[in-house]
Structure 1
Amino acid sequence: MSLILGLFEAQMLVLAAAIIGRGGMTRRSLGALLIVLCGVLTPFTIGYAGFYDRWPWLSFAPFAVPLAIGPLLYVHLNGLIFDRPIPRWHAALPVAQFAYQAVAFCMPLDLRGAFDRQVQRPWLDPILAALLLASMVGYAVAALRALRRHRCWLVARRSNLAAARRVRAVLIAYAAIVTVRTGYLIADALIAPLSYFDMFGFYVVLAVVGNYMAIEGWRQADARPHPIVEPIERDWRPIAAAWMDRIEAHGWWRDPDLDLAELSRRLGTNTAYLSRGLNEGLGLGFAEAINGLRVEHVAARLRDGTDGDILTLAIDAGFGSKATFNRVFKERFGVTPSTYRRVSTVKNDAERPDLQRNT
């Protein structure tokens, strides 16, 4: 018995180390899950070999933390499906279980034996079994919901479903552990109490499933996960305003060949991001934003009383045609460029005598 479980454990540990060494949240979480499965197997691997009889002080050694199985599986699947970690409170029960075992392991051996007979077996073991079952089933249900959401997201975008199949394979393997564990708990409660050796079948299943997950995890270590990409809510106004400041400062609006792709490259972003930022931040399209800067420049020159030809000013500002310039200018100021110049000239002439009298 010990040899069989020990061989399974050794292979899992080697693959876990190799998977963790590849880096990344999903790989590290899978490696940690495999190590926890090995820890759950360890008390039985060394127990069947007689370690506890020969070295009684090993009792309560915190090898097994089964309450960590569900959270680590959920961390792994959450990384594959959403590419993000889970809240830290999921670690509360596993940490509490490990801490409890560590404290009990530090107790004197005689006290440990009395505590095991009077408290651990009659009271704490049933509570732990119920918590473990609830944890495993709860995380299985949560993972199943996430898998369905992932599949629907991939189907809606006509994406390859290989990523969803990898997630499903992990979930099926986990479901096998939950199902067999539930069967043993029912048999223990309703048929007859199970002994230490009666549980060997469950731990063989655990070892086989763990090795399957390890081998598949190693094989798929470099596969593209294709997680769900959620839309990010942003305040586009300051982002768009900063873009406009850069465009104006560099004079990029003067370039008659400027288009959305070229401006995106100069700003260090992409066309979709730039277009959305201008629309949601300023309520403007690309052409409206750039032509707005151009007509403001021409209008400022006209207000300054320049004698230059209006069409030349428009071309210098980046407009490609007179018709486009006249249309944009009239939409912006409500009058034609020539009328705007005439009104500005009259206004400047009216203000000039006042300035001379003041001087």
Structure 2
Amino acid sequence: MIDFVIGVGSVLAALLLAAQMRERGRADLLWSRLWFALALLTFLGFVLARSFADIAGFWAALIYTTALVALYPVQYLHVRAVTGAPARVLWPHVLPPLSNVVLIAGLHAMSGARMDVGLLAVDSPQWSWINALTMIVIAILAAYPALSLRRLLNARRAIAFRQGNTAAKRFDWLIAWCVATFLSVIGGWASDLGSQFGFITIDAVAWVTFGTLAVQLLLVGFFVTGTSMAFSPMPETRRTDADIDFERLTAHFQEARPYLQSGLSAERLAESLDWTLPRLTQAIRSGGAGHFNDYLNRWRVEQVIDDIQSGADSPVLELALDAGFGSKSSFNEAFKRHTGLTPTEFRRRSGTSG
């Protein structure tokens, strides 16, 4: 059955790589192309490792395990490129696959190392420290999808605030992909640990390793075919005075929370900032909001959402009035436009009552 998983994964990786290669002019696809190529190399290398023994088997294991380890930093580099902050220093991300090469070379020199269903195993107790080192390396690799998730969630929140939830949905497939990657690291760590203590077979380790990679390819394939601009980076624009003003305005709202004032007008806010009204309007439009009330109500809705998710048991209308809304109708309209749900539906899905 593991051969079926390997076959499906190889086909998916090849198809997605071919689809990426058709977009020849898009430089932002560099890291995703490399990821698909490494995934394909991982599956094909495992097939060779299962087919050969001795030195040939070890060489095949060196190829596919190094490709597998390289998937994590390459995915992180792709996420950085997509979120508009490409990495400028690459050499630290070469260390994980390089460490794997050193580790496999050490295993090859060990008399207790052997091939089992395409995987390397260590039988000699005197080399048990190799198993411990492997577990540490796997745990460190979990930092890559964790950092990717943090960056993606921040980018999604920023886009949702500026352009709405529809525009932010482009990040959902990436988030799902990175969640699957993180779970694959945890699964690999647990299965490897279980095999060392005899709880599961080494064949089960292969299932976890390549099964989770096949799931990632399925996720990527589904979202790439169903999400417009799935691989497109965030547009890089030159910072203007209005962009700088928007950042200052956002900081002011975070610190002073003027949106809590019921009846706050654009004129009053501009006066408190010592700005002209046109300057305030340009700053708000720079952030993606159409007009002052839209920007103001987004902050108020976010305040209500935070109150609901923190477990506040007050009625929703009371939370809305505390957040600065002047009426139930204006609150319901703004909440629905911002979240796509009514306040009651949102609270029910959040698992709170009231």
Q: TM-score range by the shorter chain?
A: 0.5 to 0.7
Match of 2:189 among 177, 182, 186: 182
Q: 3-state DSSP class of the match of 2:73?
A: helix
Q: 3-state DSSP class of the match of 1:198?
A: helix
Question: Mapping of 1:195-206 within 5 angstroms?
Answer: 195-206=201-212
Q: 3-state DSSP class of the match of 1:182?
A: helix
Is the Cα–Cα contact under 8 Å of residues 67 and 93 in structure 1 kept in the other structure? no
Question: Mapping of 1:16-31 within 5 angstroms?
Answer: 16-23=17-24, 24-31=26-33
Q: 3-state DSSP class of the match of 2:134?
A: helix
Match of 1:92 among 63, 78, 94: 94
In structure 2, what is the Cα distance between the partners aligned to 1:172 and 1:92? 22
In structure 2, what is the Cα distance between the partners aligned to 1:185 and 1:112? 19
Is the Cα–Cα contact under 8 Å of residues 20 and 31 in structure 1 kept in the other structure? yes
AA aligned to 2:156 is: R
In structure 1, what is the Cα distance between the partners aligned to 2:228 and 2:111? 44
Report the counterpart of residue 173 of structure 2 in structure 1: 166
In structure 2, what is the Cα distance between the partners aligned to 1:86 and 1:217? 28
In structure 1, what is the Cα distance between the partners aligned to 2:231 and 2:72? 24
CA gap of 1:176–1:228, structure 2 versus 1, over 3 A, is farther
How far apart are residue 221 of structure 1 and its match?
A: 7.4
Residue 208 (structure 1) aligned with residue 214 (structure 2): yes
CA gap of 1:223–1:42, structure 2 versus 1, over 3 A, is closer
How far apart are residue 80 of structure 1 and its match?
A: 1.5
Q: Give a deviation string over 1:126-169, Cα, whole Å, max 9, x none.
A: 31331122122x11221122122202211231342122223322
How far apart are residue 231 of structure 1 and its match?
A: 6.3
AA aligned to 2:39 is: L
How large is the RMSD of aligned CA atoms in angstroms?
Answer: 3.8
**What is the identity percentage for the equivalent residue pairs of Structure 1 and Structure 2?**
11
Report the counterpart of residue 74 of structure 2 in structure 1: 72
Residue 147 (structure 1) aligned with residue 137 (structure 2): no
In structure 2, what is the Cα distance between the partners aligned to 1:73 and 1:196? 27
AA aligned to 2:168 is: L
AA aligned to 1:131 is: V
How far apart are residue 88 of structure 1 and its match?
A: 0.8
The answer for unaligned runs of 5 or more in structure 2 is: 115-121, 242-278, 284-354
Is the Cα–Cα contact under 8 Å of residues 83 and 227 in structure 1 kept in the other structure? no
In structure 2, what is the Cα distance between the partners aligned to 1:217 and 1:31? 16
Report the counterpart of residue 58 of structure 2 in structure 1: 59
CA gap of 1:129–1:22, structure 2 versus 1, over 3 A, is farther
AA aligned to 2:158 is: W
Report the counterpart of residue 328 of structure 1 in structure 2: none
Report the counterpart of residue 14 of structure 1 in structure 2: 15
Scaled by the length of structure 1, the TM-score of the pair is: 0.52
Is the Cα–Cα contact under 8 Å of residues 10 and 43 in structure 2 kept in the other structure? yes
Is the Cα–Cα contact under 8 Å of residues 60 and 101 in structure 1 kept in the other structure? no
Is the Cα–Cα contact under 8 Å of residues 81 and 87 in structure 2 kept in the other structure? yes
Is the Cα–Cα contact under 8 Å of residues 67 and 94 in structure 1 kept in the other structure? yes
Question: Mapping of 1:253-264 within 5 angstroms?
Answer: none
How far apart are residue 60 of structure 1 and its match?
A: 3.4
Is the Cα–Cα contact under 8 Å of residues 84 and 236 in structure 2 kept in the other structure? yes
Is the Cα–Cα contact under 8 Å of residues 150 and 228 in structure 1 kept in the other structure? no
| Range with bigger deviation, 221-230 or 198-207 | 221-230
In structure 2, what is the Cα distance between the partners aligned to 1:103 and 1:233? 53
Question: Mapping of 1:217-296 within 5 angstroms?
Answer: 218-219=224-225, 220=227, 222-223=229-230, 225=232, 227=234, 229=236, 232=239
In structure 1, what is the Cα distance between the partners aligned to 2:130 and 2:29? 34
CA gap of 1:204–1:125, structure 2 versus 1, over 3 A, is same
In structure 2, what is the Cα distance between the partners aligned to 1:224 and 1:7? 23
In structure 2, what is the Cα distance between the partners aligned to 1:4 and 1:60? 22
Q: 3-state DSSP class of the match of 1:161?
A: helix
Q: Give a deviation string over 1:203-261, Cα, whole Å, max 9, x none.
A: 34224223214414642474473627576599xxxxxxxxxxxxxxxxxxxxxxxxxxx
How far apart are residue 22 of structure 1 and its match?
A: 1.7
How far apart are residue 71 of structure 1 and its match?
A: 0.7
In structure 2, what is the Cα distance between the partners aligned to 1:131 and 1:115? 18
CA gap of 1:226–1:58, structure 2 versus 1, over 3 A, is closer
Is the Cα–Cα contact under 8 Å of residues 25 and 76 in structure 1 kept in the other structure? no
The answer for unaligned runs of 5 or more in structure 1 is: 235-271, 277-359
How far apart are residue 72 of structure 1 and its match?
A: 0.9
How far apart are residue 3 of structure 1 and its match?
A: 3.9
Scaled by the length of structure 2, the TM-score of the pair is: 0.52
AA aligned to 2:47 is: T
Task: Decide which structure has the larger Cα Rg and report it.
Answer: 1
Q: 3-state DSSP class of the match of 2:204?
A: coil
Is the Cα–Cα contact under 8 Å of residues 173 and 219 in structure 2 kept in the other structure? no
